[in-house]
Every structure is written in C-alpha cells, then in structure tokens.
Chains A and B, each alone.
Chain A
C-alpha cells in the first residue's frame, strides 16, 4: 500500500467524519482464538471448519528446523461448532504429518481429496535435526475410510525449486499454485494447470499483470471468479499485500489491492472467502507473529448484479400475422392511447410516463380507400424496469459528498426490508438514501442491493441488486 493511500486512510475519519458516519468500512476483523505465539497461517476451508498450518510444537520430541533454525510447520484442523467458535486445533492427520514441512493446502469440493505443500525429500535420516534441503512441492492424497492415502506428488514438482500454495477451483478442474522454478518473472509466480484427460496439464504463468519479479503467493479462487493472492511486487514496500484479479477474455486483469482491514502495514496474505462473501479468513503479522484473522461483514453480499437500465418507455407496434403471400397495399393508422397517432406499418413511440395505454389499429385499404376502424386493439402496460435503481450524479469530485438514493427502485411482489450499498471502494452502507465521498479518482461501480421480506419461513430472504457506474475526478484546484 502506498504511503499516500495509507495517509488518506488515516485522515479519512477526520476529513470526512460527517459523511462517513453513514459509510463505514463494512468488514470487521478479529484474531482467531486458537492462534498461539507460534505461526498460524494458510487457512483453507475444510468441512465446517478450517485447516491451517502452524509451527506450534506438536509433541515432546525435538523438532526439526531449517537452515534458519525455523521450525517446520504441520497441518492442523480446527472445527467450528458455531459461527466464529472454533475447537482447539488438532493435527489434521497422522498420515500426512512428517518431521519436516507441511504447508498450504486446499481441498476438493467433497472434502475427500487434499492438495498440500510438503518437503519433497522426507527420506533423510532423523539424526540431523537441521535440514539443508527444504525444497517443497505439491502432493495430493485421498481420504479412504477416514485415512489419507495415495499420497502422490504433483507431476510439475521440480527438484531444487519450490512448488506449493495449491488452490483448487470449485469444479476441481483448475489448480492454481506457485513456483520459483526460475522460468517465471522472478520470485514466486502464480501458475494455473488444467485437468485434462486424467492429468494436470502443462502449467501456464498468469502473466505480467499478476506476476512480478517478487513473490506472488497464496492464490485463492472464489466462486465469483475473483482470484485473490498476496504479492510483494505490486507496491513499493516489501510487505505482502492482498490483491484480487479477474480473468477477462482469457487475460488476468491488473490486480486491485484490498483495503483495510485486510491489508495493514505488515504482511497480509492467505485470504480465503466463503461463497456468500460474508466471511473470510486471512493471515497477518500485524500483531507480531503470523496469525489467522477472521473477516466478517454484517451487510449481506449481493452477487451477479446486472447493470442498471435506464427507464425508457419506448415501444414498436406492429401487426405480426400477415403472410408472405399478402400483396395488398394497406396503410396502418396507430392510435397509441396517449393522443398520438402514427400512420406507418410499424409505429415507434416513446411514452412520457408509466401507465396503461390502449393501442388501436385502424386500417386503410389503399385499393378500395375503405377505412376499417379499430381492427385490433390491446392494452399495454408501460412500467419501469424491475430493478433496484440508483439515483445520483454520474460524475463527482474527489472528496465531495455524493448523495445517492434508491427511491426509484421498482420491484414487483417484493416487500423491501433493506437497501445495501457497495460503493466500489471498499466501503458499504445501508439505507434508502446514503452519502459517500470517494478518496481517489477513477471509475467506480456503485452496487445497490435490496433485500426483501421472505414469503415463507423455510426459504432464504429474497434479494436482488444492480450496479451503476460513476466517475470520480480530481478537483481542478
């Protein structure tokens, strides 16, 4: 995070305290209770809890260390009995635990396959407690009758290099991982391998928009298509920060840095987010050692929002039944119900307001000059587009308070229980009318989500959303 941005964040409450009372950061973070003075990192969703790695002491025996005298991490599991309440962590599995390194992991959707990071060579004797060779790779294992078996190395592990940080897509057909094998852009780069005909295909580097000459690690692909990762190379400081990117037409786009509380002045990485995007976990050393933090949003998340459509009341009217054999020349006169009459085969007309209009068709037979009045008629309901509707300015100056309201929202059979705003800059708010000031110039997608009262106790709250783009420009001063 740039110094300028961090200063902005610090000054934020002072500069715009009035307006930001209505637009507070929506994510609350907490250090999880099972953290210790040792390192806890690389959370992964597993069953109803988390799997993570930690170098906490697992038994009374002397531990192995690397050349920096750092202890190796092992995989632990912490079940969650109710939201935010985790059991004491236990080793994930004896079968997967060695006296060397077990690191970041991920699981298949059914929880029966694990991809995890581990020291490649675990065959060295146990006499030497300090290991020189700590190269690691990715391994997979399957859960059979409660035991992890079939431990198999990833075919693209390379001796002498480090391959790890696996992340499996929801459908199990894409594996993101990191490697420093020297063929990339420098440090660790993120790669993708695709499952094809029973094999993982040749890895592809995600490219220069994502990878830098420094480390990019801890990829996590969310169901929304966002790929979260941590990098040291997209900003001037050398700390790890969390970013996300999306793929458009096969190209991963320029990453976007997450705001506080995800990123801090220290190392922040390893973000995972649940499908509904209201709970996430990440690692930060902001309190000294690497610990796992939860991030929780009290505002519902709205996915797959459609761009807001402007309300236009324009129609084309025509007579659809005439056949290809018809050769008679007829003139149509359309009475459009609002005082407008148009003499054309097809009548295009924009009504000035919503309402129900009776459209009538008069036909003039040009052969006989006979006028047949009201040959057909129909009532047309002209209404607003069914959508949450954001009323605001298209352009605003940096720091200037912008008022937005949802009063023109039009949703049929929908009893609104709340309006929720995402300003696209990491801030959210709620209410039918909100105010917000943007700190940086740019183009922002304002998202308005509307939740409704449920019709039956057994079903989820109905909700819908739409987006509107606004442009924030620098002050001319």
Chain B
C-alpha cells in the first residue's frame, strides 16, 4: 500500500499533472453521464446515479472547491428524452465514512451510499442560466473530507443522483483552488468505482479509463453496459499489446474475465473504447466497472497511477542463415 501511495502522489506531482478536470485529458471522455430515473436503461445508464471521489493531499493547506460544468439538464449539451423535465441533485459529502463506508464504494446506489457528512447539495432542472456554465460548491477545508490513511489524504464524495425525469445529464467536474476559475490542486486525484460516461460521436476518437491493479489481483473481470456494439473495447498495459474484450449490446451487461500479468501489478490498465467507423453510432452512453478475483472493485483514477500504461515494445534480432 505504501508503494501505492507513493505512486498516487509522487507520480501526479512529478508529472506536473493535476486531477482536477473530471474526466481528465488522457481519458478523452467528453462528459460524465447520469439519467433521470424515468429513463429507459437502454439509453445507457443502469442506475441513474454516479459517485466520484476527490482526493486532496494531507498537506494541502488551502480551501478547495468542487465545480460542476453544465449542471442543469437542458440546453445544448444534455440528452433530451421528449421534453426536458429532469431534476438532478449533486451532493458533496465529507467526514467519517464518506469514503470508508462499504456501500459508498459499490456500483449500485443503495444502502448507506450517501454516507458521511453532507457538506453541500443543489438540485438542477432545465435552467438555461447554467447551460454550459460552471456551478461551484465550497469552499471546503480539506480536513472536512474523510482522512484515509491508505491514501494519506482527505477524500470528498460527490454523488450525482437523478431525482426525476427521463433526460440524460451530461456534465464534468473540476476540483479547484478558486471559486470562479478552474485552478488545479497540486497532487490531487479523482476516482470512481463505476464509470458512467458519454462517448464521442466522432468515430476517430478513442476514450480511455485507467483501473489501478493492486498486487493482489490475479485476474480481473471487466463489465460493460449498453455499449451498443459501438466498436471495440481493448485493454492495453505494459505487458499487453492489445486485448479485445467482449462488448455489450443494447441494454445489457457483458463481462470478460482475464488474467493479470506480474508486470501489470501496481500499475494501471488502459481500457480503450474504440468506436467503429461505420455505421457511426451517436449519443452512445456506457457504464464500466472492473472487479478482481475477490469481487473487489478496482478504482478508475482519472490520472492513471503509474502514468498512462504503454506496452513495452522490444526489438529483438537474431542471426539467421539464408
């Protein structure tokens, strides 16, 4: 675990990259996605809720803000389901159990998933004043989060719940040191155990998510929901040149289990979402999670731990007789 912590912070800081945009740049994901609870799951959201965790280094001494881009449901960005009639609530949790509660780290919004102290909450509907605008929660003192020794930092939880309606909410987060600007928090990161997101419409774009594989993993099970057969899902790592996984169709889950190589432990996998070229699929939403052989969920860090994994190509030459 010490090695893990070392990677979480040192890699982030030395790389000069901060995990404040969610989704982050390397992920190349346009928006997070949460639908209203009256939507059909075949539109892409299996549970109408998304939980993200923000991790602030223990020694960071300034207040932080959690900002939401395009928090309302309407206007240009969001996915219309008839009329824009959807209500969405964003809730910020800190304090004891906001992270450590078992239910908080599950894929389904059930049980005590809203654990911890509620630090802020706001609901949005079809509100043009927030269309493609930022809404800011905070300021929060980092110590208002839950101190997690294994991360050596404070964790805040952000839940976006669909409260009413059937439209799709597309949004982003930013962990900032300023209320009115996106100014990164040095050494911070963000992660989720289930990732619900919108795919690009362009068939040339490739999205990535980066589950961290700890040293316990022998095999992992990659689950994807409602991929709509929109191309291929491929896993790349330092030891994996490119392994295609089974993909889900409309409104169903598909699981694909594969072994983990020794070289992949304590590093991230790169799960790539490669859209098919024809016919072009638009407005595709997908939900992804990864569990190890014990059924434990692997965290998707928006800044991949150990850096973006690249397959280690080697040139080998041998003398031959002609």
Contact = CB atoms under 8 A, between A and B. Distances in A.
Interface of A: 312, 314-323, 325-328, 330, 348, 350, 359-361, 363, 365, 367-368, 375-378, 380
Nearest to B232: A367
Contacts of A375: 311, 313
Interface in B268-322: 274, 311-322
A330 B234 CA distance: 13
Interface string B240-261: 1111100000000000001101
B240 A323 contact: yes
A456 B320 CA distance: 36
A330 B241 CA distance: 9
A315 B206 CA distance: 36
Contact of A315 (B240, B258, B274, B320): B320
Contact of A316 (B232, B234, B258, B317): B317
A319 B314 contact: yes
B314 A325 contact: no
Contacts of A361: 313, 315
A77 B321 CA distance: 56
A232 B185 CA distance: 102
Interface size class of B (residues with CB under 8 A): 20 to 34
A378 B313 CA distance: 11
Contacts of B318: 315-316
A317 B259 CA distance: 28
B316 A328 contact: no
Nearest to B319: A315
Contacts of A323: 239-241, 243, 261
Given A321-B239, A322-B241, A328 B234 contact: yes
A331 B210 CA distance: 25
Interface of B: 204, 206, 232, 234, 239-244, 258-259, 261, 274, 311-322
Chain A at the B interface: SS class: strand
Contact of A321 (B242, B244, B313, B321): B313
| Chain A CB within 10 Å, residue with most, of B234, B313, B319 | B313
A325 B240 contact: yes
Contacts of A360: 315
B243 A327 contact: yes
B314 A376 contact: yes
27 contacts: A312-B319, A312-B321, A314-B319, A317-B316, A319-B315, A319-B316, A321-B311, A322-B311, A323-B240, A323-B241, A323-B243, A325-B258, A326-B241, A326-B243, A327-B242, A327-B244, A328-B241, A328-B244, A350-B322, A361-B313, A361-B315, A367-B232, A367-B274, A376-B312, A376-B313, A376-B314, A378-B315
B25 to A, nearest CB: 17
Contacts of B261: 323
B243 A328 contact: yes
A321 B243 contact: no
Contacts of B241: 321-323, 326, 328, 330
B314 A320 contact: yes
A66 B66 CA distance: 122
Contact of A318 (B232, B316, B319): B316
Given A326-B240, A326-B243, A378-B317, A321 B312 contact: yes
Given A315-B317, A359-B317, A367-B242, 8 more contacts: A314-B319, A314-B321, A320-B316, A321-B312, A323-B240, A323-B261, A325-B240, A376-B314
B241 to A, nearest CB: 4
B320 A348 contact: yes
A406 B250 CA distance: 76
B315 A330 contact: no
A328 B313 contact: no
A317 B315 CA distance: 7
Nearest to B321: A312
Nearest to B312: A321
B254 to A, nearest CB: 16
Contacts of B320: 314-316, 348
Nearest to B316: A320
B314 A330 contact: no
A93 to B, nearest CB: 59
A231 B251 CA distance: 95
Contacts of B316: 317-320, 378
B259 to A, nearest CB: 7
A359 B314 CA distance: 11
B317 A312 contact: no
A376 B315 contact: yes
Contacts of B204: 368
A415 to B, nearest CB: 26
Contact of A314 (B234, B313, B322): B322
A330 B317 contact: no
A317 B313 CA distance: 12
Given A314-B319, A315-B318, A319-B314, A368 B274 contact: yes
B81 to A, nearest CB: 32
Contacts of A312: 319, 321-322
Nearest to A317: B317
B256 to A, nearest CB: 11
Contact of B259 (A315, A325, A350, A376): A325
Nearest to B310: A375
Nearest to A336: B317
A326 B313 contact: no
| Chain B CB within 10 Å, residue with most, of A323, A330, A348, A378 | A323
